[in-house]
Amino acid sequence: MKELATALAAAQVLSFRLPMLWAMSLSPTPARRAEAVRMIVEKQMTVAEGLNAATLAAFTEWLKVMSGHGLPVETMSARIADAAVKPGRRRVKANAKRLGRRKRI
């Protein structure tokens, strides 16, 4: 269910942002440029957050294995993957909400 909600939010964000990018390319204003920069920077930050979360989750799972409380590899991999994509899910939903409130491009 999380995947479907994230996919719908991503489609909504794209439907808002593509016209914004088009408008920015035709008539750049400071506000449009700021939004374009925000689009790029937030993706970089999301990737960094996801990598950090995945690293922390992998280290935590490794500590569990070393202490004798480890889970099957499939469960560990799923937890690490979930940690990696959680920042992206959070940002996509926040962007869909924020961009949905905008009055104009």
Instruction: Report pLDDT for 20.
Output: 87
Is 86 a domain residue?
yes
For the chain, 105 residues long, give each residue's pLDDT as a single digit of tens.
788 989 999 999 999 889 988 998 899 999 889 988 988 899 999 999 999 999 999 999 999 888 888 778 778 889 999 999 999 999 999 999 988 887 665
Instruction: Report pLDDT for 72.
Output: 80
Instruction: Report pLDDT for 44.
Output: 95
Alpha-carbon distance of 72 to 104, in angstroms, equals 50
List Cα–Cα distances, 104 to 12, 29, 44, 99, 101, in angstroms: 15, 13, 26, 10, 9
Q: Based on the structure, what is the number of domains in the chain? A: 1
Closest to 92 measured CA to CA, from 50, 56, 53, 58: 50
Structural domain including 23 reads: 2-100
Considering the entire predicted model, what is its pTM? Answer: 0.76
Is 105 a domain residue?
no
Please give the helix or strand (H or E) that residue 17 lies within, else none: helix 2-26
Instruction: Report pLDDT for 9.
Output: 92
